[in-house]
Amino acid sequence: MKRLFIFLLALALCLGILSACGETAEETVPAEEDPEIEDGCSTLPGGILPELLVDGTLYHWARMSEAVPYIDETGKLVQLTKLPDGFEEAGPLGAVSLDPPEENFEMQAGFSASGTVYTDPERPLVVVVHMTTDWFTGQYVRFESGGLADHLIRWDGRLFHYPYGFGVPVRELPEGCVSIGTLTCVSGDILPAADLECNSAYDGYGKYLGGREVFQDPADPDVLYVFETQYWREGSYPAWEICRSWEPGDPLYPVE
């Protein structure tokens, strides 16, 4: 049982790195190395992060869609992905090549692929493709627009990014900070629309974000402070994560 748990954990980590019944595309490209390809995502065959053009918007490969590994009746590990509720078929995946896509449903990738594109009008920043490639068969893959990011908080018409996994919380708030309310969690497929909505449910420790109190320093409107309890060997203490203002295109992680 312990070995099975370790194996499942390793698989989940691999799927995170890859972060990944339709008609076939007419054109595909061979999955062979090309010296002109920039190594933007070396964990995927071909060394580039696939991009898909849908209705004039570029979507980049994010991860496998709702991946759920399980053990079948024979004891074999099976990787199951599914189409999220609300998504409907939009058309077959188009030509796949090493060039940036120019036509609807075309995809840039370093490997061959075919499949079907699915969209949801209520979630225009996400596209799902039921895809078969030369390295997996019949899996749903999630693509996201550059305008979408997770762990975003809306306040006063602006977006702020909660530093998931890389923040350095402070143990004291700046003088003059005031409480502005508590967080409400919404779907990660959309951008928060109302004040203090957050489009992620959990922090880097797996603790629920909903109900967390949020503070702001009136003298520094570009920063929010989200309360959390920090745990240490000696016990626990209150702290606040620093959330800085964010716009589409801004980096999510610190840039040296």
DSSP codes, 6-55: HHHHHHHHHHHHH----PPPS--------TTS--S-TTSTTSS--EEEET
pLDDT tens sequence across 84-100 = 999 999 999 999 999 99
In a domain, 31, yes or no: yes
Single out the residue in 110, 128, 145 at which a domain terminates.
145
For residues 170 and 71, state if they share a domain: no
pLDDT at 79: 74
CA distances from 153 to 77, 88, 150, 182, 191 (A): 38, 28, 9, 11, 9
Domain with 206, as residue range(s), is: 152-246
Higher pLDDT, 190 or 65: 190
1-56: pLDDT as tens digits: 434 444 444 444 444 434 433 333 333 333 333 333 343 445 788 899 999 999 99
Residues 6+ apart with CB under 8 A from 224: 153, 155, 160, 180, 214, 215, 216, 242, 243
Q: Mean pLDDT score of the chain, rounded to an integer?
A: 83
The reply to whether 174 falls in a domain is yes
Q: Rounded to whole angstroms, how far apart are CA atoms 205 and 212?
A: 14
Does residue 109 share a domain with residue 40?
A: yes
Q: How confident is the model at residue 255 (pLDDT cuts 50, 70, 90)?
A: low
The residue out of 89, 122, 145 marking a domain boundary is 145
> What sign results for the dihedral spanned by CA atoms 65, 50, 45, 116?
positive
Output the six-digit token pair for 201: 């449910």
